[in-house]
Structure 1
Amino acid sequence: MLGNGLHLPIREAEIPAILEPLRATNLPDDEGIYRVDWAGIRTRIPMLPWAPQELTGTTSTALPIPTDGYRSEAEEYVALAVSLTNDRESYRVVEVGAGWAPWAVMGVVCAERSGKRARGIAVEAEPRRAEWARQHSADNGVDSLITVVEAACWNTDTTLSFPVLDEIDMGGAVLSGAASPDGAPSMDYRGAFITHRDVRTVTLHSLLAGDEPTDLLHVDLQGIELEVILPALDLIEQKVRFLAVGTHNRYVEGMLQNTLLRREWALLLESPSTAIFDGVRPSLTGFTIQDGNQLWANSRFRDAHPMLIRQR
């Protein structure tokens, strides 16, 4: 049997009602450099070179449906929103492959606003983006509540290699083994030859440690999601209420469905990745032109958003 009888999938028409409670009553000033959204989150647009720079110094009260135009689609906002409903006075979010930590920051800001004690962890292997995460946390007044871990998430404590990226490239992924000692470029999953450097790793076992559950585990790892999630699945089932996965090929999506549905997780919402199979690539992810998303609910935790629970 696959799936569970506890959770209901999220329909597109329900998304506004799920997101609306995150709306901030008093929006902060954009100070001429931020994009301020409906939830009161300030994003330093000049820090993000791929973002439309005309958003600098603007405020929007619109819900991010179908997208916000610079950060993500509505599905990831839904994942954040449903994770904020729990039976505790605390909230915990772990963002792996964090970039500038948009979800860790937003989760902590919204949880604190609702009166919960909140903590976040953001894991990012690329030094510039790790600094962005620290800046974004400070810009939203939660830098003391978010730990930025400059490392790559993997299934063991080891050393891997990570590409040296320019500012606009958010598609970096680790390679097994250390970087070439002579600095020679290595081929990445897209078929590009890029200089790599050594990075230390952290595991989900260390990130999820402690007695408190993690309300949202957000994973975005450019095609190596299975290598990180599946070896830690027993622990994830014990500790994580909601799992949001940025997906980068259909194989990953299918494997997650086949594995998690058999273990009584519920797939609440998804948008499949899109690929164009032109030419030759070293991996399926190399063909992907638009990432996908999956939002999973753990049936072992019953303190879910009322819209997600099937009425008996």
Structure 2
Amino acid sequence: MALALRIPPLRRLHTQRDTLVRERDAIQARLDLERVRCAGTEARTPFWFYNSAFDAIALMKKYQAADVPPKAGHLGNYLGVYTHIRFFPGILDCREGQVDAGLPLPANWHTDIVEWGAALRAVDLSGPVFTVMELGCGWGCWLNNTGAAARRAGKKVRLIGIEGEPVYVDFAREACATNGFQPDEVTIIHGVAASRKGAALFPTQTVEGASWGLEPVFGASEQQRREAAVSGSHVEVPMLPLSDLIPEGMSLDLLHMDIQGGEADFVRDCIATLNRSVAYLVIGTHSREIEGQLFHLLSGAGWIPEIERPCIFTLNGKECFTTVDGVQGWRNPALRP
């Protein structure tokens, strides 16, 4: 979900088709790199290029599950987490009943070493109770993966997901139940995280699971709201201030955010809440400009960068565009000295 402060007219929003094409290309890039790895030339893949203050691969090995059994209708991973194939029509259709038991080195169908390492670093630094909040949680990817790792380490878990797409709210609840988390361990909230209260317009989908990079319109005008209601292109969802989602006295071991281009504005507007309540921050980045802004904002607030990979560009001779999101992992020394 995007938290840009400028409000574009609806006609300028990316169409679902354009978003799906970008996501398809990103997933195809990862699959192509897997084939390169299998051919013995993995050193050429950009997913091996990252900077880290800790051994990310060692952490992946530490939390790897043994003998993950196949599950009908699902794809299993090396942590023993299952994803229903219907969540990704046209992408996971051929993976039904399979298990990716080996470590995803350097990447698998949805992410790479850096994001695995950053998320598991937060688990590793946490105490006996691991609390994670995922902004734009989709099907609850990082709730389930970090929750499963923390549970295997003997920790109690609290999983909190914020999602603007109603269908994905249901997906996240289903995925958490499938992976053995109890109702009192899971909270999935329908809405979009923001720095202030209000209403946002969230794009509708014609096919469930067809797009995972939808961008809401924040603070839409009355005209935009009327246009959306007439066309059915968007639905209204509440804007949820981070300070309300993480009230005084509550702390998070991990805040995972993938908000489609609004991450720098969000961090700038919510830095006081982040400083007070978040021990570890994992951010999906969507441009080099945003990455630079995050380094300026978080370093200036005393946060420590522990792992990062810049976003991957595609050049077509006329312009450059992000093919694969970047990732940054930050530790808050005020809460994790």
TM-score scaled to structure 2, two decimals?
0.76
Shift of 1:176: 2.5
- Change over 3 Å in CA distance of 1:162–1:277 after alignment to 2: farther
Kindly indicate whether residue 215 of structure 2 is the aligned counterpart of residue 170 of structure 1: no
Shift of 1:47: 2.2
1:222 aligns with one of 260, 265, 289: 260
Paired amino acid for 1:232: C
Shift of 1:233: 0.7
Q: Secondary structure at the match of 2:235?
A: strand
Kindly indicate whether residue 75 of structure 2 is the aligned counterpart of residue 35 of structure 1: yes
- Output the CA distance in 1 between the equivalents of 2:230 and 2:295: 35
Q: Secondary structure at the match of 2:226?
A: coil
Kindly indicate whether residue 221 of structure 2 is the aligned counterpart of residue 183 of structure 1: no
Within a 5 Å distance, the mapping from 1:225-244 to structure 2 comes to: 225-244=263-282
Paired amino acid for 2:260: Q
- Change over 3 Å in CA distance of 1:132–1:260 after alignment to 2: same
Which is worse superposed, 78-87 or 155-164? 78-87
- Output the CA distance in 1 between the equivalents of 2:121 and 2:253: 9
Paired amino acid for 1:105: N
Structure with the higher fraction of residues in helix conformation: 2
Paired amino acid for 1:233: I
Shift of 1:81: 0.9
- Output the CA distance in 1 between the equivalents of 2:186 and 2:81: 15
- RMSD, aligned α-carbons: 2.5
Kindly indicate whether residue 183 of structure 2 is the aligned counterpart of residue 149 of structure 1: no
User: Any stretches of 5+ residues in structure 2 without a counterpart?
Assistant: 1-50
Q: Is the 8 A contact 1:154 1:227 kept in 2?
A: no
1:126 aligns with one of 147, 155, 165: 165
Q: Tell me the residue number matched to 2:36.
A: none
Q: Tell me the residue number matched to 1:68.
A: 108
Q: Secondary structure at the match of 1:59?
A: coil
- Output the CA distance in 2 between the equivalents of 1:258 and 1:218: 19
Shift of 1:19: 1.0
Within a 5 Å distance, the mapping from 1:19-98 to structure 2 comes to: 19-27=60-68, 29-69=69-109, 71-86=110-125, 88-98=127-137
Shift of 1:147: 0.7
Q: Deviations over 1:138-188 (max 9, x none)?
A: 1101151111111011111110111113432212111123343143799xx
Q: Tell me the residue number matched to 1:15.
A: 56
- Output the CA distance in 1 between the equivalents of 2:316 and 2:64: 42
Query: Alignment length, in residue pairs?
Result: 281
- Change over 3 Å in CA distance of 1:212–1:86 after alignment to 2: farther
Q: Deviations over 1:257-301 (max 9, x none)?
A: 1111122222212121234577999xx9xx432211111111213
Q: Tell me the residue number matched to 1:298.
A: 332
Q: Secondary structure at the match of 1:251?
A: helix
Q: Is the 8 A contact 1:105 1:146 kept in 2?
A: no
Q: Tell me the residue number matched to 2:235.
A: 197
- Change over 3 Å in CA distance of 1:175–1:23 after alignment to 2: same
Paired amino acid for 1:142: F
Identity of aligned residues (%): 26
- Change over 3 Å in CA distance of 1:30–1:214 after alignment to 2: same
Paired amino acid for 1:226: A
- Output the CA distance in 1 between the equivalents of 2:193 and 2:265: 10
TM-score scaled to structure 1, two decimals?
0.82
Kindly indicate whether residue 146 of structure 2 is the aligned counterpart of residue 107 of structure 1: yes
- Output the CA distance in 1 between the equivalents of 2:80 and 2:326: 26
User: Any stretches of 5+ residues in structure 1 without a counterpart?
Assistant: 1-8, 187-193, 304-312
